[in-house]
Amino acid sequence: MMRRDTAHLGEKPIIGLFFGIALPIAVGMMVHGLYNVVDAIFVTRALGADAMGGISIVFPIQMFVFALATLIGSGMASIVARQLGAKDTEGAQATIDMAMRLAIGFAIVLTLGIYINMQEILVFMGVSTALMPYAVDYLLPIVLFAVPITMINQVPGDALRAEGKAMFMMATMTLSAVLNIILDAVFIFGLDSGVEGVAYATVISQAVALIINFWFFLARKTQLSIRPFAYQSDNKVLNEIILLGIPILIAHAGVSIFIAFTNYSLAQLPDINNDLYISAYGLIGRLVMFAILPLIAMTIAFQTLAGFNYGAKLYGRVRTTIKVGLIAGLSYGLLMSAIMILAPYPIIGMFTQEETLIHVTAGIGMWVFMAFPLANAHGLGSALFQALGKAREALFLSSLRIYFLLLPGLLILPIFYGLEGLWLAFPVADTIAFLIVMILLVKERGRLAMLEQAEQAKQGT
């Protein structure tokens, strides 16, 4: 039987539910994202541009770890949301158990694999001699401690959002972020620990978030519970988690790949100050990650509502969810583009007083934010098909922008336009991806309309 704390997902108006889930998550994410901004300000001002470059250039490794974590969490959440919609609570419990097993296994393999090959990985990424000491000092604590914490914490975190527990997620993210900012200041200014201290601040705050998330379940604040190894191993569920999580892995790994590729390209380009451009791109990367957090929150709300209502066969509500999600994402994207294109200097000036670095960062930001309103359409499209259990379509859309459009653009356009061509690839990829996604979403809304008519006819007989 469905408990009342999830039944509202199929009853209350979609627009209220959408923002009721998205806003608390967005607040928590933006507070957490504020840590990244403050972290960049602390590092750039206290430790210098090279320290910022050293941290930024290893960011793709962190993104790759996060991508694997979200493969498990997102695949699990997609299944759990549909199971809750279909009132299969026991099945949802078993799915969470399988996801936890995967997370523990991935944590062990990733931690050992990156630690053993860390030096080779950094060399392969093109880390310069000037940036290498900072990269090593920062990455070592992240690999040994933050990697396993990130993998395991994704399971309770995504289980909360599958239940629609947005306030719980906000509380965890907010507390973790505030703690991270405080610890950053303590380690950098109080203990003079350099970039290594920045890494330990991250580790401690993530550990606290892990403890809080598990407490929600142990204290029975949720409908579901986490009982690792309580169920017999089910390879079918494990395979479905991985299959539905692969689109998210592809998308997040793609971010890691194109950031690494862009940094490598900047390191190789002649006639520019390579480390300056890497540091500037690192700053823009922090701003983009901060700006995109509300879009991620919208996508989480979107997928939760779409999956639950599809499982409950409320197809008209799924169609409404698509409309609300697209309009909300486009509106927010327009606001962020206007801010970053029309008034970038005050924002970038918070990070550094170096005029050259500010000027270069603003120039990059203009290109990156040019088509930002369109950038999340492929994410919503992928989330929709993932929520509906359509792994093939989700995989295509999660791969579209980065693999089929952005990476080829980063390879081809600089041949003709040099450094400017590198940045031109971003708005070109965003625009083409948006047009393709809209065609697929219109087609899917038509299919859902037919399912709705069939369901109404069935109920009428």
pLDDT tens-digit readout, 123-180: 777 777 777 777 788 888 888 888 899 888 888 888 887 776 767 777 787 788 888 8
Q: Annotate 213-265 with DSSP letters as a single string.
A: HHHHHHTT-SSS---TT-S---HHHHHHHHHHHHHHHHHHHHHHHHHHHHHHH
Q: Which of helix, strand or coil describes residue 13?
A: coil
Q: Which of 103-112, 311-320, 356-365, 390-399 has the highest mean pLDDT?
A: 103-112
Q: Annotate 327-344 with DSSP letters as a single string.
A: HHHHHHHHHHHHHHHHSH
Cβ neighbours around 301 below 10 Å, total:
28
40 within 8 A of 283, measured Cβ to Cβ:
yes
Encode pLDDT of 209-220 as tens digits: 889 888 888 877
Q: Show contacts of 435-441: CB within 8 Å, 24+ apart.
A: 436/400, 437/377, 437/378, 437/380, 437/381, 437/397, 437/400, 438/377, 440/381, 440/393, 440/397, 441/322, 441/326, 441/380, 441/381, 441/384
161 within 8 A of 307, measured Cβ to Cβ:
no
97 within 8 A of 228, measured Cβ to Cβ:
yes
Unique residue bearing structure tokens 């209350």: 12
What is residue 1's predicted lDDT score, i.e. its pLDDT? Answer: 39
Tokens representing residue 69 in the block: 């974590």
- The residue-averaged pLDDT of 298-315 equals 81
26 within 8 A of 302, measured Cβ to Cβ:
no
Confidence of residue 109 (pLDDT cuts 50, 70, 90): very high
Confidence of residue 2 (pLDDT cuts 50, 70, 90): very low
Tokens representing residue 71 in the block: 């493969």
Encode pLDDT of 419-434 as tens digits: 888 889 889 998 999 9
What is residue 223's predicted lDDT score, i.e. its pLDDT? Answer: 72
- The residue-averaged pLDDT of 185-213 equals 84
Q: How many residues does the chain have?
A: 461
Encode pLDDT of 242-293 as tens digits: 877 777 777 666 666 777 777 777 777 777 777 788 778 877 877 887 788 7
What is residue 436's predicted lDDT score, i.e. its pLDDT? Answer: 92
From 439, 444, 427, select the one nearest 373 (Cα to Cα). Answer: 427
Rounded to whole angstroms, the Cα distance separating 346 from 424 reads: 24
Higher per-residue confidence, 75 vs 85? 75
From 183, 2, 182, select the one nearest 82 (Cα to Cα). Answer: 2
260 within 8 A of 121, measured Cβ to Cβ:
no
What is residue 4's predicted lDDT score, i.e. its pLDDT? Answer: 45
What is residue 267's predicted lDDT score, i.e. its pLDDT? Answer: 74
From 398, 376, 373, 400, select the one nearest 385 (Cα to Cα). Answer: 398
Higher per-residue confidence, 318 vs 29? 318
Residue 145 gets which letter from DSSP? I
Cβ neighbours around 117 below 10 Å, total:
11
Is residue 55's pLDDT more than 80?
A: no
Unique residue bearing structure tokens 């993530």: 206
